[in-house]
Structure 1
């Protein structure tokens, strides 16, 4: 399970279940991820045998990422998580709002009289 944990790994793997993607396509598909973090996470996933990186000798170089067979076998798990999140979206959203009032923004301080 450790090879799947991390803020971005699940999202990267989910995006790659849709098919082979180039680095820029992956980055655009995952709002909030930095170039540095995407690079680091892809390297870890590649090192663990979940992502295959293909470099094409072109100018400029083209790099594509795809799931390995082992990672593709996780697709039913990701689909089940997606169904679960869709089925419970309202409850999860309400719970997140209750845990972080003001949308996660700091509450204004009151001045002492």
Structure 2
């Protein structure tokens, strides 16, 4: 059975009408970010990622928001799932340190292999 991030319905409705959000889609990983002006999806702590439905993100700009407490393995699994949806852009930013990285920009993948030690340095994500 497919699962959906919280608030996904709004974006899915736009996509059914062959429309897209005007702004980048922001995804809070294990927390609900306060982010104005952008569509915000939430992947709550404990939500299984194995059957997460993200196909409606195809061609969209997506930003994953993490905190220093974000589990690195969970972030990797979610980022890989978003990449499978073929977004136009995928980045990740730590909301506390404001450090971030671009994972995909257009057809050019910026980050090929996951290195949890690098994730810890860049984002402060818990390994």
Whether TM-score is above 0.5 comes out as no
TM-score normalised by structure 2 residue count: 0.23
Indicate the structure (1 or 2) with the bigger Cα radius of gyration: 1
- What's the TM-score, normalizing by structure 1? 0.24
Report which of the two has the higher share of helix. 1
